[in-house]
Structure formats: structure tokens, C-alpha cells
């Protein structure tokens, strides 16, 4: 028996990857299902050229997350044009995010080069290093995926648009891959398969099994996903790090210790996962939000709930993360949950979220003192919005909590600045909304 079983997180990594992949495409109807379509095209062509199984797995991982480094809606929409300039920035950002997680190292290399032109074999290497064949395959699949559906139906592009792909053989794309694509695309039912709803077929093909992650591995993966969320807005670039640290500090004080206490911190790290569906242009807006934008923001815990609900084994973490805007008087969102159904762990995350938001520095205002923040928390507890006992613990330990929050966010700020100003960036436009 695996000694880690029961102590780690028994999750299918493919379930989690495609759940987050789908969330990345909720940001606009214009990019809906782009990652899934790209993955299906890449899978089909990989089969046509008999790409080895291990490389095919890495290609599917890369296809599922290849635009994770495109933080703004403007850039996502720009990438939906077949002819796109300066696409290297988001590919580099995606590479640097993904490479930090051990299971994603090879997929990260594919993502890094997925806009590199073949250029008559000069694209075989980059800066003296060989380029993975999967990068060139993903390049073609990604560009085919953005072609609009033509008039013939079944999601097939018009022959004129497909002609631009075929004409790119040798210059933009690897000729062998173009030939394999042409043969695959001619197969009956191919385009209907590419546009199919759901991702069960892709998750079955991403044969990662029930990966039993160590606690540190799962935290590393959660950290990757919260960076994808937080790095999309300069206003909240360190917010999740603060919430996770404060929740982890409060949990043992509230009697949630050991592995459960550590997992509260992980849940807090995922509490804003649903903001993947919110354009950073909305997150960065300094003027008052309109009603549609407010509704979009309020939907983020529901979106996060839906993402994690697709991953068996994360049921508790899903509740702890996505009930953080529920209120004990039943007035919260998204579920208007009554007090008796809100777990203590969710109440801890809720208090940590509010405390962090009030005390952290934002570009447009200074953070409150711990005393001022606690006064607001106590008012919320008196109105039965948040848990009185957790707030009482915060009141006693506010100075310690403030230090924990500040240290976590200072470290996160250093990482964000290093990421933003990395000398290998090919332009900083992907950080601007």
C-alpha cells in the first residue's frame, strides 16, 4: 500500500487541469472552449504522426493551459486572430508559471515555444536549445482553433481559412505536421468532434491516474493556480498569499490543527479561483463598477465552486474555499447558505479574507491598522455576517496576524515584481489591461 494514500490528496490531476482550463475560457464568450478545441486538434494530429505516448501526455497538458500567461482580456481577444504579433510575452509568462510544478515541467517547455515559427527548420532550436516537437504541433493546433466556423456547418472553417494553414507549411508550420493535419481534418466527423461539449474524452486521454500528491506538491499546484488569478490585477497581486497565511495562522487557534489546519490554508489559496472568469479590466477598474460588472464579481465563488466540483477528492477544500462570501444570517452569496451549513473552516477563510483586504496596501489607498480592521470585523460579527468566535480570536491576536499577513505579502510582492520585470520577458504588454 502506498504510504502516502490517505495522507495526501487523492485527485486525478487531469480532472483538475481541465477544470482550470475551462475556467480560463469563461472570461469571454469570444474565447469559449478555445483550450478544449486546441487540445482536441493537437491530440488528433499527434495520433496521426504517432507521437510517443509520453510526449502526447505533455502535449495535452500544454494545450489545456497554453494561454494561462495571457492575463488581460485584451490579450486573450488579440490571440483569437489568426495573424497575431508579439505573442511571445504570454508564452514566456505561461512557461514561468507552469515550470514551478514538477508534473508540468515538460509541458511548460512546450508552452514557451508554442508561437515559434518553423521558419524552414530554423525553429528546430531556440537560443541553442532544441525546441520540443510538441511546441510546433501546439502552434498549429492553436492557430487552427481560432479559425471561425465557416458556412458548411459542423464547426468546419471555410476552405479559404484552412488554406492559410496549408500555405504556412515550411514558413510558419512544420510541413509534416501540416500534412498530418490536412489528412486528419478530412476525416468525417472531425470538426464535430473538435467542437464537442464537455471534456470527458480529454480527461480520459490524459492518463495521469489517481495521482496521490504530497501535501507540499498540492500546495505548490494551488500556489500556481492562485498566481494565475492574482497576477491578472496589479491591485490584488499579493492578496491570496495574505489570505492563505492569515487563514493558516487562525486555523489552529480555532481548533483546526494538523493536516486539516494546513489544508485550510490551501483552501484559502483557492478562494478566488473563480475570478479567472473576471476580466482584469474589471478587476483593475478604479471607478465604480456597473451592475453587470458587480454581478460578474459576485459570481466568482460560484465559478470557483463549479471548477472544484469537477475534481473528486476536493469536496472539503471546495466548501472551505468557496463559502467565504456566505453570511451567517443567510444573506451571503452565491448560495445564501444558512449558518448551520457553513463549516468552521469556511468561516476562518471568510475572516482571513476580510482582514487581509482591509489591512493590505493597495495602489489606490493605504491599508488599515489591525485595530481598525478588527473594529470592522466585530461590527460584521455583531450583524451575524461572520463568525463571532473567529473574530474574537483575531481581536486577541491581531498584531500577530498582521505580521503574518505582511510577511507573506512582502514575499509575494517580491515574486510578483521579479515575474513582471523578468529580463526574459518579450514585452510587458501582457501585464497591462
Cβ–Cβ under 8 Å, residues 233 and 283: yes
* Stretch among 76-85, 172-181, 284-293, 301-310 having the lowest mean pLDDT: 284-293
Q: What is the pLDDT of residue 50?
A: 95
The Cα–Cα gap between 424 and 433 comes to: 21
* Stretch among 102-106, 207-211, 235-239, 365-369 having the lowest mean pLDDT: 207-211
Domain chopping of the chain, boundaries: 9-205, 215-420
- Res 205 pLDDT > 90: no
DSSP letter, residue 311: S
Q: What are the angstrom distances between the C-alpha of 359 and each of 79, 362, 372, 400, 401?
A: 37, 9, 9, 13, 10
Confidence of residue 4 (pLDDT cuts 50, 70, 90): very low
- Res 2 pLDDT > 60: no
Nearest of 246, 338, 345, 335 to residue 298 by alpha carbon? 335
Characterize the bridge pairing of strands 129-130 and 9-12.
unpaired
- Res 123 pLDDT > 80: yes
Kindly report the average pLDDT of the chain as a whole number: 88
Confidence of residue 311 (pLDDT cuts 50, 70, 90): confident
Cβ–Cβ under 8 Å, residues 203 and 18: yes
pLDDT in tens, 27-78: 888 999 999 999 999 999 999 999 998 899 999 999 999 999 998 888 999 9
Q: Do the domains 9-205 and 215-420 sit in the same CATH topology, yes or no? A: yes
The Cα–Cα gap between 164 and 178 comes to: 11
Architecture of the CATH domain 215-420: Orthogonal Bundle (1.10)
Q: What is the pLDDT of residue 288?
A: 80
Cβ–Cβ under 8 Å, residues 51 and 389: no
Cβ–Cβ under 8 Å, residues 297 and 282: yes
Confidence of residue 306 (pLDDT cuts 50, 70, 90): very high
Nearest of 7, 8, 22 to residue 310 by alpha carbon? 22
pLDDT in tens, 373-424: 999 999 999 999 999 999 999 999 999 999 999 999 999 999 988 888 764 5
9 vs 234, more confident? 234
Confidence of residue 431 (pLDDT cuts 50, 70, 90): very low
Q: What is the pLDDT of residue 212?
A: 60
- Res 5 pLDDT > 50: no
- Could you tell me the end-to-end alpha-carbon distance of the chain, in angstroms, rounded to an integer? 50
pLDDT in tens, 207-257: 555 456 677 777 888 899 999 888 888 778 899 999 999 999 999 999 998
pLDDT in tens, 133-179: 999 999 999 999 999 886 655 678 888 889 999 999 999 999 999 99
* Stretch among 123-137, 188-202, 212-226, 266-280 having the lowest mean pLDDT: 212-226
Q: What is the pLDDT of residue 433?
A: 53
Helix (H) or strand (E) holding 351: helix 344-359
The Cα–Cα gap between 353 and 332 comes to: 14
DSSP letter, residue 362: B
The CATH number of 9-205 is: 1.10.3210.10
Confidence of residue 363 (pLDDT cuts 50, 70, 90): low
Residue that the C-alpha cell 494545450 belongs to: 63
Helix (H, G, I), strand (E, B) or coil at 150: coil
Amino acid at each position: 500500500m502506498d504510504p502516502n494514500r490517505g495522507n495526501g490528496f487523492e485527485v486525478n490531476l487531469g480532472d483538475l487541469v481541465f477544470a482550470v482550463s475551462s475556467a480560463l475560457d469563461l472570461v469571454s464568450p469570444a474565447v469559449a472552449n478555445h483550450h478544449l478545441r486546441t487540445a482536441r486538434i493537437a491530440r488528433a494530429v499527434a495520433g496521426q504522426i504517432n507521437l510517443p505516448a509520453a510526449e502526447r501526455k505533455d502535449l495535452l497538458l500544454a494545450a489545456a493551459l497554453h494561454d494561462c500567461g495571457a492575463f488581460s482580456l485584451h490579450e486573450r481577444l488579440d490571440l483569437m486572430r489568426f495573424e497575431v504579433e508579439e505573442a511571445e510575452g504570454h508564452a514566456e509568462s505561461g512557461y514561468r508559471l507552469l515550470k514551478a510544478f514538477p508534473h508540468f515541467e515538460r509541458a511548460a517547455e512546450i508552452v514557451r515555444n508554442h508561437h515559434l515559427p518553423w521558419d524552414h527548420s530554423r525553429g528546430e532550436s531556440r537560443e541553442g536549445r532544441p525546441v520540443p516537437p510538441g511546441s510546433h504541433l501546439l502552434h498549429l493546433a492553436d492557430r487552427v482553433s481560432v479559425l471561425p466556423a465557416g458556412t458548411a456547418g459542423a464547426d468546419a472553417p471555410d476552405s479559404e481559412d484552412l488554406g492559410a494553414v496549408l500555405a504556412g507549411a515550411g514558413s510558419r508550420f512544420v510541413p509534416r505536421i501540416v500534412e498530418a493535419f490536412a489528412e486528419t481534418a478530412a476525416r468525417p466527423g472531425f470538426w464535430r468532434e473538435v467542437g464537442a461539449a464537455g471534456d470527458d474524452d480529454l480527461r480520459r486521454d490524459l492518463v495521469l491516474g489517481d495521482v496521490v500528491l504530497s501535501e507540499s506538491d498540492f500546495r505548490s499546484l494551488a500556489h500556481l493556480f492562485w498566481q494565475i488569478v492574482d497576477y491578472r490585477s496589479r491591485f490584488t497581486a499579493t492578496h491570496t498569499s495574505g489570505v492563505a497565511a492569515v487563514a493558516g495562522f487562525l486555523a489552529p487557534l480555532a481548533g483546526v490543527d494538523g493536516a486539516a489546519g494546513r489544508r485550510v490554508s490551501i483552501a484559502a489559496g483557492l478562494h478566488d479561483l473563480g475570478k479567472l472568469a473576471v476580466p482584469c479590466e474589471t478587476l483593475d477598474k478604479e471607478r465604480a463598477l456597473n451592475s453587470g460588472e458587480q454581478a460578474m464579481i459576485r459570481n466568482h465563488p460560484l465559478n470557483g465552486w463549479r471548477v472544484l466540483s469537477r475534481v473528486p477528492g476536493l469536496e472539503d477544500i471546495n466548501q472551505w474555499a468557496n463559502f467565504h462570501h456566505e453570511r451567517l444570517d443567510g444573506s451571503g452569496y452565491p448560495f445564501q447558505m444558512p449558518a448551520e451549513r457553513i463549516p468552521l473552516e469556511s468561516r476562518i477563510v471568510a475572516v482571513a479574507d476580510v482582514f487581509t483586504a482591509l489591512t493590505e496596501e493597495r495602489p489606490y489607498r493605504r491599508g488599515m491598522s489591525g485595530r481598525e480592521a478588527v473594529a470592522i470585523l466585530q461590527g460584521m460579527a455583531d450583524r451575524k455576517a461572520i463568525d463571532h468566535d473567529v473574530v474574537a480570536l483575531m481581536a486577541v491576536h491581531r498584531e500577530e496576524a498582521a505580521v503574518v499577513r505582511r510577511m507573506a505579502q512582502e514575499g509575494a510582492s517580491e515574486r510578483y515584481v521579479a515575474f513582471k520585470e523578468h529580463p526574459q520577458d518579450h514585452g510587458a504588454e501582457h501585464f497591462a489591461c
